[in-house]
């Protein structure tokens, strides 16, 4: 495929607001997980909670969209100069020639949870001020961002569990290649809610402490929240690109509703498809950001697939021990992490790793370290076997390694 330029990028996650906070937190090997203190979730676990969400106010004209998920989206719009870059793209191409494709797994379901708790005790009617379509509905996120930024091109919501905001890049490429648009704003958001916290608890998939992907004693995941946005365009001439989308791969296990294929078959197909689409050999890849949730089965099956495709020596790591597993937002947040690695010259460490599982057949990067990286691969795999892998390469703009103590 012809690479696409990624010319603007923002991220919001438990490490902080913006690319600098994320890169500096990873460089310092900081763990942003905390004991669960989310509203009335009485669960013995750790969460990746974004600081300051409760204090965000949406612009007055969009107050009807107010919910935790759309507040995260608003934070991503404001972060890293993204709003200005988006407006410049709309002026450059026209509002109808810019697409919007966002991923989420639960959207603003927390607004629905609150409304259900406030239903009329006699009639069970939901409260009159509950705005389902602007908050709880899966398309509420994309509807909000499209109105907020003034986008009039194709607007889509992708909801494929934890691969949602990775698959948006594939859709953007297809729309641009088809000539329907000249650019696309992609990304996603997912917010903390009781459904996911208690849902994963019922599956016995939550660690009581901070998640420890690839660790011999890992016990499960830590739920996080976050958001991010990226502007994807054709080659942009003299305007610098932060990075380039070199290829993507998608696959479907259809193995189990909540468990990956035991040997990582779908993960392998996804990674091989990304390499084939990019026209690259496995040896061209310098680092892999794993899906790496911290569950025993997930980490084992994914690393088996990585070893079959790339061999045992290629360095990989999971950063979910720092941010938590942000579900539908994981793809865009970890794409931002990979682009930070490319532009700032470091390989992110495997957050919270203590004792490497001896059955992990890959070389795991324990702590962040300076490194020259040209191509990275990012994996996002979702329930039901919905898999996506992205290959990212250098753009034209780069900055130095964050000022931080060498780990």
Any alpha helices (H) in 234-329, and if so which ranges? Answer: 265-278, 296-310, 320-323
36 is an active site residue: no
How far apart (Å, rounded) are the C-alpha atoms in residues 272 and 250? 9
How far apart (Å, rounded) are the C-alpha atoms in residues 200 and 209? 14
- Across the strands, what pairs with 214? none
Residue burial 29-52, b: 16+ Cβ < 10 Å; e: rest: bbbbbeebebeebebebbbbbbee
Contact between 271 and 376 (Cβ < 8 Å): no
Residue of 46, 138, 291, 394 marked catalytic: 291
Rounded to 5 degrees, φ, ψ at 58 are: -70, 155
Both structure tokens of 354? 């203590």
316 is an active site residue: no
Q: How many residues does the chain have?
A: 407
255 is an active site residue: no
Residue of 36, 67, 162, 340 marked catalytic: 162
Pairing of the two strands 98-103 and 386-394 = unpaired
- Across the strands, what pairs with 157? 102
Residue of 46, 136, 261, 325 marked catalytic: 325
Active-site positions read 162, 291, 325
């Amino acid at each position: 495929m012809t690479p696409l330029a990624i010319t603007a990028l923002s991220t919001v996650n438990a490490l902080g607001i913006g690319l600098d906070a994320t890169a500096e937190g990873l460089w310092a090997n900081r763990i942003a997980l905390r004991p669960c203190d989310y509203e009335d979730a009485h669960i013995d676990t750790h969460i990746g909670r974004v600081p300051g969400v409760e204090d965000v106010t949406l612009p007055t004209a969009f107050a009807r969209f107010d919910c935790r998920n759309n507040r995260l989206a608003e934070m991503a719009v404001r972060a890293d100069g993204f709003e200005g870059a988006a407006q410049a793209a709309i002026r450059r191409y026209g509002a109808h020639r810019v697409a919007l494709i966002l991923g989420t797994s639960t959207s603003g379901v927390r607004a629905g949870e609150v409304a259900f708790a406030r239903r009329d005790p006699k009639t069970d009617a939901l409260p009159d001020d509950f705005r389902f379509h602007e908050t709880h509905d899966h398309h509420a996120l994309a509807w909000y961002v499209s109105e907020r930024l003034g986008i009039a091109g194709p607007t889509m919501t992708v909801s494929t569990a934890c691969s949602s905001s990775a698959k948006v890049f594939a859709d953007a490429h297809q729309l641009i290649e088809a000539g329907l648009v000249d650019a696309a704003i992609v990304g996603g958001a997912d917010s903390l809610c009781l459904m996911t916290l208690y849902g994963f608890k019922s599956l016995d998939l939550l660690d009581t402490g901070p998640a420890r992907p690839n660790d011999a004693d890992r016990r499960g995941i830590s739920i996080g929240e976050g958001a991010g946005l990226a502007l994807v365009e054709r080659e942009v001439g003299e305007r610098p690109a932060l990075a380039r989308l070199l290829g993507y791969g998608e696959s479907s296990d259809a193995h189990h509703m909540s468990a990956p294929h035991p040997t990582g078959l779908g993960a392998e197909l996804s990674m091989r498809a990304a390499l084939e689409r990019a026209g690259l050999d496995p040896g061209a890849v310098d680092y892999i950001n794993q899906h790496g949730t911290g569950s025993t089965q997930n980490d084992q099956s994914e690393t088996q697939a990585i070893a079959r495709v790339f061999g045992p020596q290629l360095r990989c790591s999971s950063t979910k021990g720092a941010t938590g597993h942000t579900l539908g937002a994981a793809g865009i947040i970890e794409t931002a992490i990979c682009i930070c690695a490319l532009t700032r010259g470091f390989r992110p460490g495997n957050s919270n790793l203590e004792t490497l599982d001896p059955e992990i057949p890959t070389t795991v990067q324990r702590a962040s370290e300076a490194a020259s990286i040209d191509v990275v691969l990012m994996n996002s795999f979702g329930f039901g076997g919905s898999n996506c892998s992205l290959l990212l390469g250098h753009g034209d703009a780069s900055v130095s390694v964050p000022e931080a103590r060498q780990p």
